[in-house]
């Protein structure tokens, strides 16, 4: 089989992987609408069925929202099965390192789609939906966020690995690795604090910003209300760090167009997200603003992952400005 034929096979797979990634973002955003509209109990404490029925009869509006979200996850499952089968075929027929790495990332994606569904089922079966206030709900919500972020990492890696001939550094620069790890940790903390903030806004709504601040500072408030202030603080600190880090990474790989592009994307998205977050806060968080805020958060996360992998997989001729270069394997 010629090299051109192999590239053509990967090109079709890469396009499909992009669409799978896009669909997963749609499912994630629709899940936010489900939570923000307080429709998570639309099917009662039933899973896989909806109120004990395979297809709900005479459903309420919140049942339609909950059931439609479940259908998007069913479609997602089918898309992931196709992705996995296609990756296996590429691995068996092409037998190159690239197809093996693609298969590994697809297996990771499928695993975390399954755990994503399991967490969603757990929320329903334990009654941690709609306006239910329980001691475990914040943990479920943060766990859901962590799983979603890891799923997006594997899907992003799948797209990246399939989209071109990549070289992988087996010994990345430790200093850069630690700095990127700090950025990833910061984004996880921002995401988890954002989940608590969104949950507290839904469960303990405020009519004005002043009332919300008073609740945040009251010792009598629920713990998730008192933790809500951590989200804007962590968002600004992490955002500033990401802007400086992306510029620094670009300066160390000036010859890499991918690093330059994703560095600019991260910086721009961070600025837009902080501004959008402020507007969401000032407007008291209407659902449409919450959807936009979550979508931008996913874009910042995906762009950061793309910046990191492109930095560590830059062309061997594009060596760091200073420091010991890592080794590269094809």
Residues 109, 190 share a domain: no
- Mean pLDDT score of the chain: 89
Query: Which of the listed ranges 63-72, 89-98, 146-155, 158-167 does the model predict with the highest average pLDDT?
Result: 146-155
Q: Domain containing 130: what range?
A: 1-166
Kindly tell me if the per-residue pLDDT of 329 is higher than 60. no
Using one digit for the tens of pLDDT, what is the confidence trace for 75-86? Answer: 999 999 999 999
Are 303 and 281 found together in one domain? yes
Give how far the C-alpha of residue 2 lies from the chain's centroid of Cα atoms, to the nearest Å. Answer: 37
Q: Is the pLDDT of residue 266 over 70?
A: yes
Highest mean pLDDT among 99-108, 123-132, 204-213: 99-108
pLDDT at residue 275 tops 90? yes
Number of residues that this document lists for the chain: 330
Task: Round to whole Å and give the CA distance between 181 and 108.
Answer: 20
Q: What is the Cα 241 distance to its own chain's centre?
A: 19
Report the pLDDT averaged over residues 252-277.
95
**Number of compact structural domains in the chain:** 2
Of the chain, the percentage scoring pLDDT greater than 90 comes to 65
- Report, as an integer, the average pLDDT of 100-123: 95
Q: Does one domain contain both 144 and 257?
A: no
Domain boundary residue among 135, 166, 197? 166
State phi, psi for 50 to the nearest 5 degrees.
-120, 110
48 upstream amide cis, omega within 30 of 0? yes
Same domain, 140 and 240: no
Q: Is the domain of 239 the same as that of 314?
A: yes
Residue 316 pLDDT more than 70?
Answer: no
Q: Tokens 């306006």 label which residue?
A: 131
- How far is residue 165's CA from residue 153's CA, in Å, rounded to a whole number? 19
**219 shares a domain with 95:** no
Helix (H) or strand (E) holding 329: strand 328-329
Considering the domain architecture, whether residues 67 and 93 belong to the same structural domain is answered as yes
Q: Note if the pTM is more than 0.95.
A: no
The whole-number pLDDT of residue 89 equals 94
pLDDT value, residue 8: 64
Contact 228, 218 (CB under 8 A): no
What is the model's pLDDT at position 219?
86
Averaged over 291-299, what is the pLDDT? Answer: 96
For residue 221, pLDDT beyond 50 = yes
Q: What does the pLDDT look like over 43-73, one tens digit per residue?
A: 988 888 898 888 888 788 899 999 999 999 9
Place 158 in a pLDDT band, splitting at 50, 70 and 90.
Answer: very high
pLDDT digits (tens, 9 = 90+) for 165-203: 666 666 778 899 999 999 999 999 999 999 999 999 999
**Residue 263: per-residue pLDDT:** 97
pLDDT of 43? 92
Dihedral sign, CA of 313, 319, 325, 329?
Answer: positive
Query: Which residues, including other chains, have CB under 8 Å from residue 293's CB and lie 6 or more apart?
Result: 194, 273, 276, 277, 280
Domain end point (choices 112, 138, 166) = 166
| pLDDT reported for residue 319 | 45
pLDDT for 57: 81
Question: Is residue 130's pLDDT more than 60?
Answer: yes
pLDDT mean over 145-157: 97
pLDDT > 50? residue 4: no
**DSSP secondary structure string for all residues of 19-66:** HHHHHHHHHHHHHHHHHHTT-TTTT-S-SSSBTTBSS-SS--HHHHHH
Q: Which residues of 59-98 are buried (b: 16+ CB within 10 A; e: fewer)?
A: beebbebbbebbebbeebeebbeebbebbeebbeebebeb
The percent of residues above 70 in pLDDT, for the chain, comes to 90
Categorize the per-residue pLDDT at 311 as very low, low, confident or very high, splitting at 50, 70 and 90.
very high
Average pLDDT over residues 131-151: 93
Same domain, 127 and 257: no
Q: What is the CATH number of the domain that holds 256?
A: 1.20.120
Residues 6+ apart with CB under 8 A from 8: none
Reply yes or no on whether the pLDDT at 299 is more than 80: yes
Last residue of a domain, one of 166, 190, 225: 166
Q: Which of 195, 205, 202, 203 is nearest to 227 (CA)?
A: 195
Q: Give the pLDDT of residue 51.
A: 86
Q: Which residues pair with 168 in a beta bridge?
A: 329
Are 75 and 7 members of one domain?
yes
Residue 262 has pLDDT above 50, yes or no: yes
The H-assigned helical ranges of the chain are 3-36, 61-94, 97-125, 137-162, 174-203, 209-217, 223-226, 230-252, 257-282, 287-312
């Amino acid at each position: 089989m010629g090299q051109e034929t192999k590239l053509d096979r990967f090109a079709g797979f890469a396009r499909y992987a992009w669409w799978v990634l896009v669909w997963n973002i749609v499912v994630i955003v629709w899940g936010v609408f489900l939570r923000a509209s307080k429709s998570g109990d639309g099917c009662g404490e039933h899973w896989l069925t909806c109120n004990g029925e395979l297809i709900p009869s005479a459903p309420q509006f919140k049942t339609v929202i909950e059931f439609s979200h479940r259908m998007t996850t069913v479609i997602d499952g089918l898309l992931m099965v196709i992705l996995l089968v296609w990756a296996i075929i590429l691995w068996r027929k092409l037998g190159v390192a690239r197809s093996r790495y693609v298969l590994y990332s697809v297996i990771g994606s499928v695993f975390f789609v399954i755990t994503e569904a399991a967490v969603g089922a757990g929320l329903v079966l334990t009654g941690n939906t709609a306006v239910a206030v329980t001691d475990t709900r914040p943990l479920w919500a943060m766990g859901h966020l962590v799983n979603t972020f890891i799923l997006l990492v594997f899907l992003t890696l799948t797209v990246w690995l399939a989209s071109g001939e990549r070289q992988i550094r087996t010994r990345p620069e430790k200093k850069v690795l630690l700095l990127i790890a700090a950025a990833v940790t910061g984004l996880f903390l921002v995401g988890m604090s954002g989940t608590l903030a969104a949950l507290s806004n839904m469960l303990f709504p405020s009519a004005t910003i002043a009332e919300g601040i008073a609740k945040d500072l009251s010792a009598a408030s629920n713990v998730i209300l008192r933790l809500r202030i951590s989200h804007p603080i962590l968002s600004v600190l992490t955002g500033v760090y990401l802007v400086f880090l992306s510029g620094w990474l670009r300066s160390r790989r000036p010859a890499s167009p991918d690093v330059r592009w994703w560095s600019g994307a991260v910086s721009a998205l961070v600025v837009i997200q902080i501004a959008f977050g402020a507007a969401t806060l000032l407007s008291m968080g209407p659902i449409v603003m919450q959807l936009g805020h979550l979508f931008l958060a996913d874009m910042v996360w995906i762009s950061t992952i793309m910046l990191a992998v492109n930095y560590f997989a830059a062309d061997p001729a594009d060596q760091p400005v200073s420091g010991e270069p890592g080794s590269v394997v094809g």
